[in-house]
Amino acid sequence: MNITSTLPYARGDGQKGVYVTPPGPSKNEDMGFLSLGMAFSFFVFWAFGGAGQPSNMVRQMAFTDSRVLKRSIVLVSVYYTAIYFPLIIIFCCARVILPGMEIEPDRIMPALARTLSENAGMPWLTGLIVAAPFAAVMSSVDSFLLMVSSGVVRDVYHHHLNPNASEKRVKWLTYIVTAVIGVAAVMAVLNPPQYLQNLIVFATGGLAGCFLMPMALALYWPGITRAGIIAGMLGGCITHLVLYIAGYVIHQEFKVYSFLNIQPFLWDIIGSTLFALLVSKTTKPLDASLIDRFFGKPK
């Protein structure tokens, strides 16, 4: 193979030690792979993005009091530290053990498991190691399928469009919606993005951008209205889609446009908040009895 031409990095081209010093090299971004603004905003993303997931909101409703919540936060912090810190060490070492795998980073985990198991004389261990994350993936996929189909059939169709629908009709609609969403997901991954992490960030940021601020405003602001909550969800969704469409137009691939080099989740939150506030201020407020029930009577 002969190299006839090369495309220089937008940042880090020819610089010594660029792979081990922040913000790292980048093919397209002159600010680097992980600029300071993007790094800080990612801390905000992962900390608050999880709270905006519909699947997590159901679990949060199980808290009996603030004492349980505080203890849960401490426990979860220890739990994630025990999980993710070893992962950082393992996959940093993988760059040395399997050089060149950064070209296909989504294959590094099974490839590293196979290499280490074979070198230890226990190749059968690869199956057990790889089965664990794939089981977690399958569990997450079927949970999301059930959540989406339940939201469409129960929350939208049954509660609002046809409250008198029979259980048989609801059951068959659930089957149909689940099948349609599953087929659509399969069609979408026929041309997957370069990195699996891009899909995770897209889904996590989109869900949190749509639901986090409407949920927070409903809990802490008596002035929120039903129309404001819907506008907040739509505002976050529109902002999220606009940034990803702009990124696709600019980069010609599935990649988000990071305005001012800040994680787009923050722009989703801003868009959702503005839509919710503006619409709530211009629409009919909630009944006073409902506000008194949840926020107490004004003193």
Number of folded domains that form the chain: 1
Q: Is the peptide bond before 264 cis (omega within 30 degrees of 0)?
A: no
**DSSP bridge partners of 26:** 11
Residue 145 lies in a domain: no
What is the pLDDT, as a whole number, of residue 274?
A: 95
Answer whether residue 251 is part of any domain: yes
For residue 237, being part of any structural domain is answered with: yes
The answer to whether residue 216 is domain-embedded is yes
Q: Is the pLDDT of residue 31 over 70?
A: yes
pLDDT at residue 97 is higher than 90? no
CA atoms within 13 A on the CB side of 83: 7
Domain contains 278: yes
d(CA 16, CA 13): 9
- pLDDT category of residue 110 using cuts at 50, 70 and 90: confident
50 occurs within a structural domain: no
- Mean pLDDT, residues 188-215: 82
Is residue 167 one of the residues assigned to a domain? no
pLDDT band, residue 147 (cuts 50/70/90): confident
Following CA atoms 231, 243, 54, 222 in sequence, which dihedral angle do they give, to the nearest 10 degrees?
Answer: -30
**pLDDT value at 270 more than 90:** yes
Which residue in the block uniquely carries the two structure tokens 């004492």? 67
What is the Cα–Cα distance from 114 to 94, expressed in whole angstroms? 12
d(CA 226, CA 175): 30
Is residue 8 domain-resident? no
- CA pair distance 17, 29, nearest whole angstrom: 18
pLDDT at residue 167 greater than cutoff 80: yes
pLDDT at 235: 95
Instruction: Give the domain range for residue 265.
Output: 194-299
